[in-house]
Amino acid sequence: MESIALWQGLTLCGIVSWIFISSCLNVTQKLRTLVQPWVSHHVITGTPIILQIQKYQHGFLDALFSGLSCVVSVPFYTAFLPLLFWSGHGKLARQMTLLMAICDYSGNCIKDVVSAPRPSCPPVKRMTATKDEEENALEYGLPSSHTLNTICLSGYLLHYVLSYTQNQDASLKFAGFAIVCLIVCLTGLGRIYLGMHSVIDIIAGLAIGFAILAFWLSVHEYVDSFIVSGQNVMTFWAVLSFLLLFAYPTPELPTPSFEFHAAFTGVAFGIVAGVQQTYHQFHHEAVPHIFTPQLTIPSFIGRVLVGLPTILIVKYCSKALAKWILPVVSNTLSIPIKSTSYIPMLNGSVTGKKSEKNKPTGYAMKLFFFSSQDTFDVDTGIRFLQYSGLAWSVVDLVPSLFSYLRL
């Protein structure tokens, strides 16, 4: 018990220390000054390669690479992971959720630290077939998140399948490895073809993806054991999620990257909280798996028809509840807030801000006001609670409904 509390405390204290040190020493700006010119130079010099690839533009390739970009995107995985939980593969689902959260946070942090541009359009033709792609285009370029995520998630999925089946057939392993390599290569080529990334972005995505995958394969069993049977799990994860919001670097110009991170950090917290509370009821290894007599295809379809509307309702209710509670709590604690999109009445205004004469200046307030801003965007908290509620419903509320309905 003491060793568990010790490493949890050291982890959280380390993050707090990094927040203060990086803020005082302006680490983000210094790193950006060193790296950004080099990356920007390679983005510019890589433009002829992109134009050469786009000479082969064809309707079939447009559809192929646009479709592939959707399949390996964060929204797709967000929709796919609930089905994985409900199919009985809870361990794989929670491991991929946490890995996705690490990929999303790491990739977006690096994007906003470097703040390197995407390929210039024109001369490059940028093809955005979906609203999600249009939002991605507003982010900075390096690294390619699609490439990074594809390496990590497809690589871990291959590792899990081979471990789960305990198949020692060398030809099957080679086939699986070849399929993963093909998907990764097509994803990287597709991002260049669509004009979304330059070659240096893809290379960075590959390198960072391999590093994260290697790290995750070395710790995933320890993390899973902590989640399902550890001590102080919810408290630790709640504080960790809160600190990671503050540890996120400030980009050169505002981008949607922080919003994406806040949402998926909420998903990770909701999954951890729900699984930790209901592991022995719904998520242990002996639960029914799809394609077995205990969980037939019709039963699984019934789960999907019940589960998807339920989590959408919970998402809507969580958002409405957060929009009501957070401003009240902030005003009660005299925390000045604003809202950029969710609460029109707070758009461009600040609530809870006291006069300079009465404004607290103790160390507790300095902890919250260490950055240059003196107001907080309440949308971050709303987004976090909204997706936390959605994820919790996936692993707690919905399985309870399945049990009640005998699905």
Name 295's bridge partners. 292
CA distance 290 to 286: 12
Q: Is 261 a catalytic residue?
A: no
Say how far residue 242 (Cα) sits from the centre of its chain. Answer: 15
Name 337's bridge partners. 351, 376
Q: Is 146 a catalytic residue?
A: yes
Q: Which of 58, 89, 159, 197 is catalytic?
A: 197
H helices, E strands: number in the chain: 16, 2
Which has the closest alpha carbon to 133: 50, 68, 217, 218? 68
pLDDT, position 217: 92
User: Residue 12: which residues within 8 A CB-CB, separation 6 or more?
Assistant: 236, 239, 240, 243
CA distance 322 to 330: 12
pLDDT, position 74: 65
pLDDT, position 177: 87
> What average pLDDT does this structure show over 53-77?
80
> What average pLDDT does this structure show over 167-184?
84
pLDDT, position 349: 52
% of the chain with per-residue pLDDT over 70 = 90
pLDDT, position 139: 86
Sign for the CA dihedral angle at 249, 250, 253, 256 comes to positive
Q: Which of 41, 58, 146, 280 is catalytic?
A: 146
pLDDT, position 3: 66
Name 209's bridge partners. none
Describe the crossing of helices 90-114 and 74-86 by its angle, rounded to 10 degrees.
Answer: 160
Burial readout 112-142 (b: 16 or more C-beta within 10 A, e: otherwise): bbbbbbbbeeeebebbbeeeebebbbebbbb
The SS3 of residue 73 is: coil
Q: Note the pLDDT tens digit of each residue in 6-30.
A: 788 888 888 888 888 888 888 888 8
**Residue 116 carries which side chain, given as an amino acid letter?**
A
pLDDT, position 1: 54
Q: Note the pLDDT tens digit of each residue in 315-373.
A: 899 988 988 888 888 888 777 777 777 777 766 555 554 434 333 333 333 344 444 44
Weakest mean pLDDT among 81-90, 164-173, 268-277: 164-173
Q: Note the pLDDT tens digit of each residue in 72-103.
A: 666 677 778 888 888 888 889 899 999 988 99
